[in-house]
Amino acid sequence: MHIHILGIGGTFMAGLAQLARAAGHHVTGCDSGVYPPMSTQLEAAEIEVIEGYDSAQTAFEPDCYVVGNAITRGNALLEEILDRGLPYLSGPQWLAENVLKGRWVMAVAGTHGKTTASAMLAWVLEDAGLSPGFLVGGVPVNFGVSARLSGSNTDAPFFVIEADEYDTAFCDKRSKFVHYRPRTAILNNLEFDHADIFADLVAIETQFHHFVRTLPRHGLLVSNAADSNLARVLTKGCWTPVEHFNDTTGWRAEGSDVDGSLQLLHGDELVGSTNWSLTGTHNRSNAVAVMLAARHAGVPFVRSLAALSRFKNVKRRLELRGAAGGVHVYDDFAHHPTAIATTLAGLRSKIGSGRILAVLEPRSNTMKLGVMKALLPASLGDADLVFCYSANLGWNAAEALAPLGDRVITDDDLGRLVTRIASAACAGDQVLVMSNGDFGGIHDKLLAALAARPLSTGNGQPEEPRTAESGR
């Protein structure tokens, strides 16, 4: 089968492309401005990517067009497909019919932590010899790719998928995860997000309810007992056995970021322990959920704990990109206030009292709309200095972040922002860059600026905003 993918540069669609290629299909695709790591993975898979959406691409005459959810009415190629009555499917539907059908699907859903938990689960199964396929919204370091059809045992039934609640396609406004029909599912947490497609929290809860309705009665649902929104979803109906985590009388985790300890407990009973490289209460919660899901696939806790000691997380999850001038630069995907706060807390617990310079690009659709702007100051509380890239926003970043006082600098010019960060940073500081995009390559630009400056440049304070008169 020849499939042509519209929006192939997105994490999900690029992963789908790799799966289709591994399954023996002829795969081509198109997008605008594809960047690493997805561009690199597509190139490695020898998948042809065309820049733009020219309607002339119908000359390829594929068996089916697979349309990503970023593609909207008015797109030239989509309009040509519709006018000519050519065959098309959404990405989730194609995946369900051509990859997931007949497999033991293990889905990880929730507002936060999906990518890390999905990668963690895939690794635990892999380490236990179960050879899972997977599709993850990032690049797990243990695997080096965001998607694969299977491991060494091509007959293994397991497939781990990050179960995203975002909408499916222009023609299907259900959440993507309703297509996956998992046997095992994790519900990590539930908050309001994706304000561009959901009117309110109730609308998201409805989609999670639809997801729960797809689980079989002989499956397993692993749910966060500490999340009242998830509890409300389950009260609407659940036909599948449930294991709860973050339950003081049931399954929970303890541990320390100082020594990397991780303990699995059931009530007051210590079930097992290990040491690992991840930090934060949220990741310890991820670990418990993963161990419960893996047990459903036959992996005992002792084996899961051993695997977690060798887990290397996902790129762009508190990933150290480099150091220059005594300053460490981290990259993280955080873009929701809760994720920002959690990421900062994780870094704070790791470094102690050292200075953290938080660099934020409010790039997601929700953040651009300004729906979460009132929550940003509190989410950045663990940062000593905050730098916000304010270009292309429909709201005033300086005004929204004003509660942070003189700890914050906003700028709509990326080059100037890099200069200001480099000027403020001192040896021993940690710079945490947070964005769900490539942020204009700011990490390399910042490392270069730090390397080029005199060591005495950092003064510990943000530059005063320049005026036109002062040569801005």
Q: Give counts: helices (H), strands (E), the chain.
A: 15, 23
Is the per-residue pLDDT at 472 higher than 60?
A: no
Three-state SS for 225? coil
By DSSP bridging, strand 385-389 and strand 356-360 are parallel
Residue 120 burial by Cβ neighbours in a 10 Å radius (0-12, 13-18, 19+): buried
Mean pLDDT of 312-339: 88
Longest dimension (CA), the chain: 71
Mean pLDDT of the chain: 91
Q: Confidence class of residue 349 from pLDDT cuts 50, 70 and 90?
A: confident
Write out the H or E segment, with its range, that includes residue 332: strand 327-332
Q: Domains in the chain, ordered, with CATH? A: 2-92 (3.40.50.720), 102-308 (3.40.1190.10), 319-452 (3.90.190.20)
Task: Describe the crossing of helices 114-127 and 281-296 by its angle, rounded to 10 degrees.
Answer: 50
Q: Confidence class of residue 456 from pLDDT cuts 50, 70 and 90?
A: very low
Q: Confidence class of residue 99 from pLDDT cuts 50, 70 and 90?
A: very high
At 455 the pLDDT is 55
Report d(CA 270, CA 267) in Å as an integer: 8
At 295 the pLDDT is 98
Question: Residue type for 51, please?
Answer: E
Other C-beta atoms closer than 10 Å to the C-beta of 85 total 7
Q: Confidence class of residue 42 from pLDDT cuts 50, 70 and 90?
A: very high
Q: Confidence class of residue 463 from pLDDT cuts 50, 70 and 90?
A: very low
Mean pLDDT of 260-283: 94
Buried b / exposed e across 404-439, counting CB within 10 Å, b at 16+? Answer: beebbbbbeebeebbbbbbebbbeebbbbbbbbeeb
At 97 the pLDDT is 96
- Contact call for residues 290 and 121 (beta carbons, < 8 A): yes
By DSSP bridging, strand 133-135 and strand 147-148 are antiparallel
Mean pLDDT of 114-130: 96
Is the per-residue pLDDT at 36 higher than 60?
A: yes
Report d(CA 368, CA 371) in Å as an integer: 8
Mean pLDDT of 189-205: 84
Report d(CA 79, CA 137) in Å as an integer: 28
Q: Confidence class of residue 466 from pLDDT cuts 50, 70 and 90?
A: very low
At 458 the pLDDT is 47
Binding positions for ATP are: 110-116
Higher pLDDT, 144 or 437: 144
pLDDT tens string 323-332: 999 999 999 8
Percent of the chain with pLDDT over 90: 75
Mean pLDDT of 201-229: 96
Distances (CA, A) of 44 to 17, 35, 39, 198, 352: 12, 14, 9, 36, 40
Report d(CA 335, CA 364) in Å as an integer: 7
Is the per-residue pLDDT at 464 higher than 80?
A: no
DSSP helix, strand, coil percent of the chain (3-state; round to 5): 35, 25, 40
Q: Confidence class of residue 195 from pLDDT cuts 50, 70 and 90?
A: low
For the chain, what is the radius of gyration of the CA atoms? Answer: 23
**pTM attached to this predicted model:** 0.81
Is the per-residue pLDDT at 468 higher than 50?
A: no
Distances (CA, A) of 139 to 166, 189, 312, 314, 319: 20, 22, 11, 5, 11
pLDDT tens string 411-425: 999 999 999 999 999
At 192 the pLDDT is 78
For 81, residues 6+ apart whose C-beta sits below 8 A from its C-beta are: 58, 65, 67, 88
Other C-beta atoms closer than 10 Å to the C-beta of 269 total 7
At 440 the pLDDT is 87
At 191 the pLDDT is 86
Binding positions are: 110-116
Q: Confidence class of residue 207 from pLDDT cuts 50, 70 and 90?
A: very high
Mean pLDDT of 243-251: 95
Write out the H or E segment, with its range, that includes residue 204: helix 201-213
Report d(CA 354, CA 198) in Å as an integer: 39
Report d(CA 108, CA 280) in Å as an integer: 19
Other C-beta atoms closer than 10 Å to the C-beta of 63 total 11
